[in-house]
Amino acid sequence: MWICYNIFEGDFMKIIVCLDDNSGMLFNNRRQSRDRVVCEDIVKNLEGEKLYISPFSQILFENFRDDVCVSEDFLLNGNICFVENQAVSQCDADEVIVYKWNRVYPSDFYCDIDFSKYFLTEQTELEGFSHEKITKEVYKRVV
C-alpha cells in the first residue's frame, strides 16, 4: 500500500525525511531515531502552511498540534509532508529536505528517493537535543 500521488497538478510538493548514513529510515517498523530540534526546525519553517503527517509520526509533533494535519493519506492531500514509513518516489516532489543523523543505525527500510533527479541547494548544520550534529540538506528537482 505504498501509493502516493501529488494529485493537485501544479501544486508545489515538499517531502521531508530523516536519514542515517545508509539512507535508512526504519528498523523493525520503528523510526531509527528522533530529535526534538528537528521537529522544531520543521515547524519553524512552515511559513504558515500545515505540515502533513501520518498517525505514525503524530507523537513527534505533540507540541505542535495546530501546525500539523494527521491522516493516513497525508501524501495525497499535503503540500508539505513529513515522511517516515512510506515510499515516496512516486510523489515526484519538487523539493526534498533531508535531516541526516550523521550516525549509523540498524535499518530495514530505506529512502527510495532518486536523488539523481535533484540538486543540492542548501546545507546547514543543527545541534540536536540528542544528536551532536544533524545536517539539514535541501534538494530541488532538476527541471
Partner 1 sequence: MKNKKIIGIIIAVVAVIAVFAGGMVLSENLVLRENVETTVADGALVVPNGEQSDGEDYGPSESSSGNPANNIQNGSEETTGKSGVAGVPETPSSPNSAGEFVLKLSDIPEYSGKPYYALNNNTPSFPGGNGGKKYYEKYAPLDNLGRCGVAEACLGKETMPTEERGEIGQVKPSGWKTVKYDCVDGKYLYNRCHLIGFQLSGENANERNLITGTRYMNVDGMLPFENMIADYIKETGNHVLYRVTPVYSGKELVARGVQMEALSVEDNGDGICFNVYCYNNQPGVRINYANGESEEFDDGIKPAIGKPVGNGNNGSDNSASSQNTPSGTYLLNTNTKKIHKPGCSSAKSMNEANKQEYSGSIQDLLDQGYSKCKVCNP
Q: Which of 13, 51, 87, 138 binds partner 1 (CB under 8 A)?
A: 87
- Does position 129 bind partner 1 by CB under 8 A? yes
Amino acid type, 28: N
Site mask for partner 1 (CB under 8 A), range 2-21, x = bound: x----------------x-x
CA distances from 107 to 39, 98, 114, 136 (A): 21, 17, 18, 20
Which region among 8-16, 31-39, 43-51, 62-70 touches partner 1 (by CB under 8 A)? 31-39
- Does position 131 bind partner 1 by CB under 8 A? yes
Q: Which class for 9: exposed (0-12), middle (13-18), buried (19 or more C-beta within 10 A)? A: exposed
Distance from C-alpha of 16 to C-alpha of 6, rounded to nearest angstrom: 15
> 66 with 49: CB under 8 angstroms?
no
Interface residues for partner 1 in 92-111 (CB under 8 A)?
Answer: 98, 101-111
- Does position 142 bind partner 1 by CB under 8 A? no
- β-pair partners for 14: 80, 95
Rounded to a whole number of angstroms, the minimum distance from the CB of residue 34 to partner 1 is 6
Q: Which of 3, 5, 11, 36 binds partner 1 (CB under 8 A)?
A: 36
Closest of 81, 64, 62 to residue 73, by C-alpha: 81
> 123 with 136: CB under 8 angstroms?
yes
- Does position 141 bind partner 1 by CB under 8 A? no
Residues of this chain that bind partner 1 (CB under 8 A): 2, 19, 21-24, 27-28, 30, 32-36, 86-87, 89, 98, 101-116, 118, 120, 129-131, 137, 139
